[in-house]
Chains A and B, each alone.
Chain A
Amino acid sequence: MKKLTSRRKRWLSKRQRAMARHHFRRKPISASRKWHGAQWKPVSIHRPSQKARIGLGVAIPMPAVMCFDKNPEATLESLDRIRSILHQETMQHRKAGARQKNTSKVNYSAFENIRQISPSAALVMAAEYERTYYLNKSEATIINLDKWDPAVRGTLGALGFFEKFGFPGTFEQPFATDRFRILPMRSGSSADPLEIKALIRDLKDLYPLQDEDRTAGLVHLFGAMVEAMVNVVRHAYPADGKFPYEPINRWWMTGAVDQDARWTTAMVFDQGVTIPVSLPNWQHYAGVLRRIASWTGLAPAAGDPRSDGLAISAAVEESVTSTGESHRGRGLAQMRDFVDQCRGGYLRIMSRFGEVKLRPGQKPDVRSYETSAGGTLIEWNVVL
């Protein structure tokens, strides 16, 4: 081998130092770091088949309160960020395929920031995780679980979040209070009324004492939930539908009971095309447009997200008042009628950018948000 000259040695050493500097500079400046302006920090990474290990992570901030009533816009935004991160994960998983690296650097949603999560926000979030789990057929990754608030762990644990994604038992926590109980979420792709019947039975069992009024209320809740589930199966995932994120054509539902306040909550969520998008195909759409025009003095452009709340509200009204000329389209009416029969409470319909809250004997509370709900959430929160 040819002996290196001292000049050549100096050049090689200089080049090595320069390359090292270049490498050092470039490596941490990833797109995600630039995007969030955040720093890599040590995190504990939990995967079902492995012991927790330390890695580096960039935290995507999450709000302290994730609740559609108390903090709707921030809750929708954070759910959208989770959706986006999980979508990126799916894309990376597809690119890497079998070569997928067991990375110790992650972008993650900072669940440790959350102090309170409502059952409906938890259901929407769990549905997003299930989509990724279903599409990737891979293990879920959970970050900094040891730092999560016990109330958040409790809510997600009761929902079956940890069990569903490969963490059975280990992180299951009894829920914080005995008087407020959440049922494990159920999901499916066909309108199976037996699933609803089972959920209603479980809700009934959460009350220590039974009474006739509550039994009647739960019978009527069953009918309203069947209509919501049938709507998902028939309209949420059309073959020619355009979806911002790949759908898995499922519904999710759960329920909760506050024994002290006698509140019963039940909800159905889907990641479909949403009510405002599917309305133009509805036979009562002309009536919906007429109603919006009479309320606002303007005919809304089809698909204008700013009028999503109004569109949902008009669809409910149209469903309630439609008469014998057409036998279909009464599902929304039954969902609302159930609330009208209750002693108190509301029906929330949140779809794409719009939300309508319907309370017995009151004008609908109509809103539109900056961020999409990523599907349709139907939630009954009633006193039985």
Chain B
Amino acid sequence: MERGALMTEQGEETIRVAVYAPAPGGRFASDGPFSGEWFRETVLRPALSRAISHGTKVRVELDGTAGYGSSFLEEAFGGLIRTKEFLPRDVEQHLLVIAKTGIFRPYQGLVERYLREASRTLSAA
């Protein structure tokens, strides 16, 4: 389990984005620090792999950061499916992205949209 991740009794791992990326950045690691690609590869992918192998869930909390650029969210979450690292079905079953506060709720909606679009693109290809 990574730094800043919490585990519930049901084996559900909670990742608070703000712990890893207090100021989420651009899309690619080459853009600068706290990029979507960096977050996906170092935090999300290992956690989701563990959840799939243990049959549990990863819960990602979006609240508490400085905000989000759409590039970060698309690359971090949509990229899980688009890069074919995970099947859309596995992401749907084992990843839960939430925003507890109203300020961050629009970003939850964006993540859901990016996941849908990545699944659609993959199935169309």
Contacts and interface: CB of A to CB of B under 8 A. Distances in A.
Nearest to A330: B70
Contacts of B24: 193, 226
A215 B103 CA distance: 8
A227 B67 contact: no
Main secondary structure of the interface of A (DSSP, over half): helix
B27 interface: yes
A134 to B, nearest CB: 20
Interface residues of B, number: 31
Contact of A192 (B25, B27, B69, B72): B25
B86 interface: no
A200 B24 CA distance: 14
Nearest to B72: A226
Nearest to B68: A223
Nearest to A221: B67
Interface string B18-36: 0000111111000111100
Contact of A219 (B66, B72, B74): B66
A336 to B, nearest CB: 12
A370 B98 CA distance: 49
B121 interface: yes
Contacts of A192: 25, 32-33
A126 to B, nearest CB: 23
B102 A223 contact: no
A110 to B, nearest CB: 39
Contacts of B103: 212, 215-216, 219
B66 A330 contact: no
Nearest to B22: A197
A193 B78 contact: no
A290 B24 CA distance: 34
Given A191-B25, A193-B25, A230 B67 contact: no
Interface string A210-229: 00100110111111101101
B84 interface: no
B60 to A, nearest CB: 17
B23 A191 contact: no
A25 interface: no
Contact of B74 (A190, A197, A234, A327): A327
Interface in A210-261: 212, 215-216, 218-224, 226-227, 229-230, 233-234
Interface of B: 22-27, 31-34, 66-72, 74-75, 78, 82, 102-104, 106, 114, 116-118, 120-121
9 contacts: A193-B34, A193-B66, A197-B22, A216-B102, A219-B103, A226-B24, A229-B26, A233-B26, A331-B69
Given A215-B103, A230-B27, 20 more contacts: A190-B32, A191-B25, A192-B32, A194-B22, A194-B34, A196-B66, A197-B23, A197-B66, A216-B103, A218-B67, A219-B67, A222-B66, A222-B67, A223-B68, A223-B70, A226-B72, A230-B32, A233-B32, A234-B26, A328-B71
Nearest 9 pairs between A and B by C-beta? Answer: A222-B67, A324-B117, A226-B69, A191-B32, A230-B26, A193-B23, A197-B23, A193-B25, A197-B66
